């Protein structure tokens, strides 16, 4: 038994070492990728439930490594957060997405908002609002068409300084949305405390709408509650007509998901913006 225990632990150590080496290798790759401009933004439309028109577009980062292929942001964003690369990367996202949205809005009679995912590290920079302001001046892009997506978990630490930054961004005219709504511990406290305009109901509830009465009830309750607090509601992860119909009945304002469109490269979104309705 002892012998088996030992070999078991040796195996375990080797596995950890491999993981650590892989992490280091990935971080170096990430640095190189930023220098080599291997990142791309994909864009996923968000439609208005009444008109079916695209009213907003979420920028979603992609990393295409020449050897490894497409790497998911769920893999590399946490690493970029650990080693600080998220700061230059996040600025690149803001700059690129605003530049693209400006181009769309020049040719599109109905301007779209551009929604950008922030990371805690970005928000924790004391000069974050000034940085956003600088980027918007360079582009130049109207602040009220910029929507910054936050999550409860990124607001947990440094509440006071985050609140100050978010209030400044709000005064500048930016819109703020609370992503993954319903999955955290105290969504109401965050709505009360932070100047949030919009909640994005998490995909996990939306996907259960037709199969789990609890999910349908939660989605309805969250929508009613957000509306009585004068917040707009976006449903995420809409994959079926049935889900869309339900969301329409309970008066969700906007919807996003594979049923409407996958995230697509900028040129494809340009095409989609020409179509009137996506319902
Ligand atoms: P998120 O903000 O929750 O974004 C939604 C994710 O769900 C995206 O995954 C999107 O492709 C996917 N999705 C959209 N519609 C559907 C649907 O109908 N069904 C299903 N199953 N999935 C759907 P993606 O693009 O892989 O991004 C994953 C996460 O990475 C994002 O989750 C966000 O937290 C993070 N992320 C992406 N881009 C950025 C960025 O530029 N900066 C930062 N800080 N984080 C980012
Ligand atoms: Ca998001
Ligand atoms: Ca998420």
Q: Hey, what are 164's tokens?
A: 């100050």
Does ligand 1 come within 6 angstroms of the Cβ of 81? no
Report the C-alpha gap between 268 and 270 in whole angstroms.
5
Residue 148 pLDDT: 98
Q: For the chain, what percent of residues have pLDDT higher than 90?
A: 74
Does ligand 1 come within 6 angstroms of the Cβ of 93? yes
Residue whose CA lies nearest to ligand 1 atom number 17: 237
Q: Which of 33, 60, 123, 262 has the most ligand 1 atoms within 8 A of CB, as the residue to mutate?
A: 60
Question: What's the average model confidence in pLDDT over 77-83?
Answer: 91
| Sequence-distant (≥ 6) Cβ neighbours of residue 203 within 8 angstroms | 236, 237, 257
Does ligand 1 come within 6 angstroms of the Cβ of 207? no
Residue 157 pLDDT: 87
pLDDT digits (tens, 9 = 90+) for 206-246: 999 999 999 999 999 999 999 999 999 999 999 999 999 99
* Confidence band of 5 (pLDDT split at 50, 70, 90): very low
Does ligand 1 come within 6 angstroms of the Cβ of 253? no
Does ligand 1 come within 6 angstroms of the Cβ of 45? no
Residue 18 pLDDT: 67
Report the C-alpha gap between 92 and 117 in whole angstroms.
12
Report CA(59)–ligand 1 centroid distance (Å): 9
Q: Each residue of 190-213: b (16+ CB within 10 Å) or e?
A: bbeebebebbbbbbebbbbbeeee
Report CA(179)–ligand 2 centroid distance (Å): 6
Question: Is pLDDT above 60 for 2?
Answer: no
Per the model's pLDDT, the better-predicted residue between 61 and 278 turns out to be: 61
Q: 204 forms bridges with which residues in the sheet?
A: none
Residue whose CA lies nearest to ligand 1 atom number 10: 263
Residue 83 pLDDT: 87
Report the C-alpha gap between 15 and 13 in whole angstroms.
5
Q: Which of 73, 94, 149 has the most ligand 1 atoms within 8 A of CB, as the residue to mutate?
A: 73
Question: What's the average model confidence in pLDDT over 63-89?
Answer: 91
Residue 14 pLDDT: 58
Per the model's pLDDT, the better-predicted residue between 258 and 28 turns out to be: 258
Residue with tokens 């869309």: 244
| Of 108, 42, 58, the residue nearest 234 (C-alpha) | 58
pLDDT digits (tens, 9 = 90+) for 154-208: 998 888 999 999 999 999 999 999 999 988 888 888 999 999 999 999 999 999 9
Angle at which helices 2-35 and 73-82 cross, to 10°: 90
């Amino acid at each position: 038994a002892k012998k088996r225990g030992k070999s078991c632990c040796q195996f375990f150590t080797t596995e950890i070492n491999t993981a650590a080496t892989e992490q280091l290798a990935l971080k170096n790759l990430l640095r190189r990728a930023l220098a080599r401009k291997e990142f791309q933004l994909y864009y996923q439309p968000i439609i208005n439930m009444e008109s079916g028109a695209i009213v907003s577009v979420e920028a979603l980062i992609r990393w295409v490594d020449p050897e490894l292929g497409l790497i998911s942001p769920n893999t590399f964003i946490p690493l970029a957060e650990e080693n600080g690369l998220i700061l230059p990367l996040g600025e690149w996202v803001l700059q690129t997405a605003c530049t693209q949205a400006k181009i769309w809005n020049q040719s599109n009679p109905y301007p779209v908002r551009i929604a950008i995912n922030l990371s805690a590290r970005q928000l924790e920079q004391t000069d974050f609002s000034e940085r956003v302001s600088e980027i918007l001046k360079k582009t130049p892009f109207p602040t009220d068409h910029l929507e910054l997506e936050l999550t409860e978990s990124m607001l947990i630490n440094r509440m006071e300084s985050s609140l100050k930054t978010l209030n400044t961004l709000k005064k500048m005219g930016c819109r703020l949305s609370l992503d993954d709504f319903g999955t955290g511990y105290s969504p109401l406290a965050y709505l009360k405390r932070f100047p949030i305009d919009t909640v994005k109901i998490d995909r996990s509830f939306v996907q259960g709408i037709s199969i789990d009465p609890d999910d349908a009830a939660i989605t309805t309750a969250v929508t009613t509650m957000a509306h009585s607090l004068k917040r707009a509601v976006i449903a995420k992860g809409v994959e079926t007509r049935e889900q869309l119909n339900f969301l329409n009945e309970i008066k969700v304002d906007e919807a996003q998901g594979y049923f409407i469109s996958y995230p697509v490269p900028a040129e494809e979104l340009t095409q989609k913006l020409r179509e009137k309705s996506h319902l």
